[in-house]
Amino acid sequence: MKVLVATQKPFAKAAVDGIRAIVEKAGYELVLLEKYETPEELYAAVADVDAMIVRSDKVTAQVVDAAKNLKVVVRAGAGFDNLDLAACTANNIVAMNTPGQNSNAVAELALGMMIYMARNTFKPGTGAELKGKKVGIQAYGNVGRLVAEKARALGMDVWAFDPFVPKEKMEAEGVVVPATLEDMYKNCNYISLHIPANDQTKKSINKALVGLMPKGGCVINTARKEVINEEELIALMTEREDLKYCTDIAPDASSTNLKNASSLRRRNRVPKPLRLTSTPVSPPLPKL
Ligand SMILES: NC(=O)c1ccc[n+]([C@@H]2O[C@H](COP(=O)([O-])OP(=O)(O)OC[C@H]3O[C@@H](n4cnc5c(N)ncnc54)[C@H](O)[C@@H]3O)[C@@H](O)[C@H]2O)c1
């Protein structure tokens, strides 16, 4: 039995060593494909493997087609949006993920990004506090719940919208549940996005919604870039210079919006996207 770890962005060495120890103890063979640059390299690597572990690597119908022995694919992360589930099902391949494993890191990052924006991207000068501000958490899942807990600890007024979680449960956890998503955008100084990227949510964070936010409103996106309607957000932020957007997910490199986004970024309203698990960001310390 062969187990492939296919990661364009490799795991830490300690993680790979841990996976190798478990796989080899079970009598299987571990095959590594790291930092690959083309889908063809992945097609070749999957040809004779029985199981595959990926991160955000795309397991497309072509990958599934090239993997004639594949029985199980595990996405080390939350969500299935990088796996073609229909192709997996059609080929009797079990698809699994690891929800919740990095939720705390993402929640801390979301709060860190709120502080970063409240403190004018850590430029010397004046800034604002989060205490007493309203944060609207869009989706109360593993990450959203932890953001709520940490935001409350900072003295924020926490709102949350998730049509799939009972209102009573959210209220019992000290969260204000608005009647509509629009109500949350109208009332909150910060919106923190934690929705999955699916047919309902893709491009749903648009001009009409974000435009409802009060003066100085800030959207924090640690969910997925696909949920943002980039064209509309850029158009809105050009009209409303008070609004802010901060994300750890770079816009699509092929997007024609990137040029516009960069020019907005130069004016410090769209800070350079920060990546959660790559280079740590160490901005200059403000003068006290
Ligand atoms: N930045 C990162 O590195 C990173 C890491 C982990 C997860 N994520 C992303 O963060 C998001 C949340 O992850 P999670 O682990 O909390 O997922 P989760 O599955 O635990 O929670 C998702 C929540 O979204 C809710 N939801 C679904 N559709 C909704 C809708 N239309 N409106 C409001 N709520 C809706 C569900 O009811 C659920 O409570 C996902 O997009 C995930 O891909 C990003």
Residue carrying the six token digits 């958490």: 137
Q: Give the tens place of pLDDT for each residue, 125-178.
A: 889 999 999 999 999 999 999 999 999 999 999 999 999 999 999 999 999 999
Same domain, 116 and 157: yes
Same domain, 238 and 136: yes
| Cα–Cα distance for residue pair 12/154, rounded to 1 Å | 32
Backbone φ and ψ for 3, nearest 5 degrees, come out as -115, 120
Q: Does the C-beta of 177 come closer than 6 Å to ligand 1?
A: no
Asked whether the CA dihedral 151, 157, 158, 159 is positive or negative, the reply is negative
Among 83, 194, 248, say which to mutate for ligand 1: greatest number of ligand atoms within 8 Å of CB: 194
Q: Would residue 158 count as lying in a domain?
A: yes
Q: Count structural domains, the chain.
A: 2
Q: Would residue 52 count as lying in a domain?
A: yes
Asked whether the CA dihedral 120, 216, 128, 223 is positive or negative, the reply is negative
Same domain, 157 and 253: yes
Same domain, 124 and 227: yes
Q: Give the tens place of pLDDT for each residue, 173-203.
A: 999 999 999 999 999 999 999 999 999 999 9
Full-prediction pTM beyond 0.85? no
Q: What angle do CA 183, 148, 249 make, to 5 degrees?
A: 85
Q: Would residue 14 count as lying in a domain?
A: yes
Q: Would residue 194 count as lying in a domain?
A: yes
pLDDT higher than 70, residue 255: no
Tokens representing residue 137 in the block: 């958490």
Distance from the alpha carbon of residue 256 to the mean position of ligand 1, in angstroms? 27
Q: Which of 97, 122, 149 is the last residue of a domain?
A: 97
Q: Report DSSP state, residue 83.
A: B
Distance from the alpha carbon of residue 135 to the mean position of ligand 1, in angstroms? 17
Q: What angle do CA 70, 74, 76 make, to 5 degrees?
A: 150
Q: Band the pLDDT of 278: cuts 50, 70, 90.
A: very low
Least confident of 38-47, 147-156, 275-284: 275-284
The protein residue with its alpha carbon nearest to ligand 1, atom 22, reads 141
Q: Does the C-beta of 164 come closer than 6 Å to ligand 1?
A: yes
Same domain, 206 and 248: yes
Same domain, 113 and 207: yes
| Cα–Cα distance for residue pair 111/148, rounded to 1 Å | 10
Backbone φ and ψ for 215, nearest 5 degrees, come out as -50, 135
Q: Which of 49, 77, 97 is the last residue of a domain?
A: 97
Q: Does the C-beta of 22 come closer than 6 Å to ligand 1?
A: no
Q: Would residue 178 count as lying in a domain?
A: yes
- The atom of ligand 1 lying closest to the CA of 224 is 41
Q: Band the pLDDT of 275: cuts 50, 70, 90.
A: very low
pLDDT higher than 90, residue 246: yes
Same domain, 78 and 41: yes
pLDDT of amino acid 252: 63
pLDDT higher than 90, residue 276: no
- The atom of ligand 1 lying closest to the CA of 204 is 31
- The atom of ligand 1 lying closest to the CA of 139 is 34
Distance from the alpha carbon of residue 60 to the mean position of ligand 1, in angstroms? 21
Ramachandran class of 23: left when φ > 0, alpha when ψ lies in -120 to 50, beta otherwise: alpha
Q: Would residue 277 count as lying in a domain?
A: no
| CATH number of the domain within which 176 lies | 3.40.50.720
Q: Which of 97, 132, 154 is the last residue of a domain?
A: 97
Q: Does the C-beta of 99 come closer than 6 Å to ligand 1?
A: yes
The protein residue with its alpha carbon nearest to ligand 1, atom 25, reads 139
In one-letter notation, the amino acid at residue 18 is G
Same domain, 156 and 214: yes
Q: Would residue 242 count as lying in a domain?
A: yes
| Cα–Cα distance for residue pair 244/191, rounded to 1 Å | 10
Same domain, 16 and 136: no
pLDDT higher than 50, residue 258: no
What rounded mean pLDDT belongs to the chain?
89
Same domain, 32 and 52: yes
Q: Does the C-beta of 33 come closer than 6 Å to ligand 1?
A: no
Residue 124: domain span: 103-267
CB 73 within 8 A of CB 51: yes
The protein residue with its alpha carbon nearest to ligand 1, atom 23, reads 141
pLDDT of amino acid 254: 43
Same domain, 39 and 54: yes
Asked whether the CA dihedral 152, 155, 159, 160 is positive or negative, the reply is negative
Mean pLDDT of 106-118: 97
- Report the first-to-last Cα separation within the chain, whole angstroms: 60
pLDDT higher than 90, residue 24: yes
Same domain, 63 and 111: no
Q: Would residue 279 count as lying in a domain?
A: no
Among 162, 191, 226, say which to mutate for ligand 1: greatest number of ligand atoms within 8 Å of CB: 162
Mean pLDDT of 218-246: 94
Q: Does the C-beta of 144 come closer than 6 Å to ligand 1?
A: yes
| Cα–Cα distance for residue pair 121/109, rounded to 1 Å | 14
Distance from the alpha carbon of residue 125 to the mean position of ligand 1, in angstroms? 35
